[in-house]
Amino acid sequence: MEPIKIIEIKKSIFADNNIDADELRDELKKKGVYLLNLMSSPGSGKTTTLIRTINLLKDKIRIAVMEADIDSDVDAVKIKEATGIPSIQLHTGGMCHLDAEMTRQGLDSVPMEDLDLVILENVGNLVCPAEFDTGSCRNAMILSVPEGDDKPLKYPLMFSVCDVVVINKIDVLPYFDFDIDKCREYVRMRNPKAQVIPICAKTGEGVDVFADWILREVENWKK
């Protein structure tokens, strides 16, 4: 296997990230490429969820993944090995989030003309990534059962900027005090339109619902 491409992300020079993010979205619309920004805490199962989801989608649409990480390239390697799709690693050099310009640096290294969907796996962090528009078409986040159902109360911004909340690791529900209905209610307090999708990335349960949502989104974007 070819070695994973690693991009060392540079700090942005743009003063207004919101304008830059809107411009990036316009470019993506023109190119017909859908960008999904996936956020979560460390250890919520982003990479496993992505592998399952991509394997359900890769025969229907053309996908690439950009893995943002502070230092390692573990995740990009895992995804490439498990799915065979183009996967690059973005090194943030200690930075706790990605903004639109940093995302663009990554997109410059994927074959945009051959793609329908790019998934950006943001830095594992429930605070800072929520504050910066990456230029993505939508934001999704993964909350895992062991983290607790109260997270929407504690990280309000993250939950208000996400259109989809995937609840992962539902196989361990019997061992944790996690109430899915209560969690849905808390998510709705932050964003009444957010969709909540319970899954188990380990067994694959529910992942098709998330994959179908992505597929519909990509189709609408290309219209």
Which residues are near a second copy by CB under 8 A? 41-43, 69-72, 74, 94, 96, 123-128, 131, 144-148, 150-151, 153-157, 169, 171-172, 175-176
Q: Are 90 and 67 a contacting pair, CB within 8 Å? A: yes
Of the pair 42, 192, the CB lying nearest a second copy is at 42
Of the pair 100, 145, the CB lying nearest a second copy is at 145
Report the C-alpha gap between 122 and 143 in whole angstroms.
Answer: 14
Report the C-alpha gap between 91 and 180 in whole angstroms.
Answer: 34
The residue behind tokens 């307090």 is 189
Of the pair 25, 37, the CB lying nearest a second copy is at 37
Q: Are 82 and 59 a contacting pair, CB within 8 Å? A: no
Of the pair 32, 148, the CB lying nearest a second copy is at 148
To a second copy, the closest distance from the beta carbon of 42 in angstroms equals 5
Pairing of strands 117-121, 87-91: unpaired
Query: Would you tell me how many other CB atoms lie within 10 Å of the CB of residue 106?
Result: 23
Report the C-alpha gap between 35 and 126 in whole angstroms.
Answer: 20
Of the pair 87, 144, the CB lying nearest a second copy is at 144
- For the chain, first and last CA: distance in Å? 36
To a second copy, the closest distance from the beta carbon of 37 in angstroms equals 17
Of the pair 143, 211, the CB lying nearest a second copy is at 143
To a second copy, the closest distance from the beta carbon of 97 in angstroms equals 8
DSSP state of 12: P
Report the C-alpha gap between 28 and 14 in whole angstroms.
Answer: 19
To a second copy, the closest distance from the beta carbon of 182 in angstroms equals 13
To a second copy, the closest distance from the beta carbon of 96 in angstroms equals 4
To a second copy, the closest distance from the beta carbon of 94 in angstroms equals 7
